Amino acid sequence: MTPAEYRNTARAGQGLSTYESFEVKRPVAEVGQAFRKKANECLSLKLGSQNRPLIGIAGSVNYYGQVIPKVFTSGSRAELHVQIKYKNQVGQIPEDGMYHFVADAYPSGKGTTRVDIYRRTKFATVAEAVRGWASGQSMACPDPNTFL
């Protein structure tokens, strides 16, 4: 799916995706800056498992996937996309993996910004974090164990 197709799927409530919207009393440029600052810090993750031998302390990590956040900003819009790319995926998958979360921010009035969130239902804690980032009230990272 493209981001536009993902938005349509979530807005229609199809599959395991949902849509929500809110406004914040903050200019869209500040919301975009918050997305950019926090996305890489909080959402850029490698997914792996630890292999441990029966005897000894050495081990190795097998990475089987990666969470890839991207932020796009322009003068009047900010977008946050979160994709998950797994090793050995089959089918028509975007280059950086399937979309699990998309947030669009755009002006809704003087000094206010509307944020539309399209997400997998499991990404509720990411949506909560993005709400805090957008409003500037909380810059906390979501716990990866709640959405992965």
pLDDT tens by residue, 31-67: 999 999 999 999 999 987 667 666 666 666 677 889 9
Give the side-chain half-sphere CA count within 13 A for 94: 17
Task: Find the largest Cα–Cα distance for the chain.
Answer: 64
- In angstroms, the CA 96 to CA 92 distance is 12
Percent helix / strand / coil, the chain, rounded to 5: 30, 40, 30
Residue segments in the chain with a per-residue pLDDT below the cut of 70: 49-50, 52-61
Three-state DSSP at 44 gives coil
- The confidence score (pLDDT) of residue 126 equals 98
Handedness of CA 91, 40, 123, 145 (dihedral sign): positive
- The confidence score (pLDDT) of residue 125 equals 97
A 10 A CB-CB count for 143 gives 12
Three-state DSSP at 24 gives strand
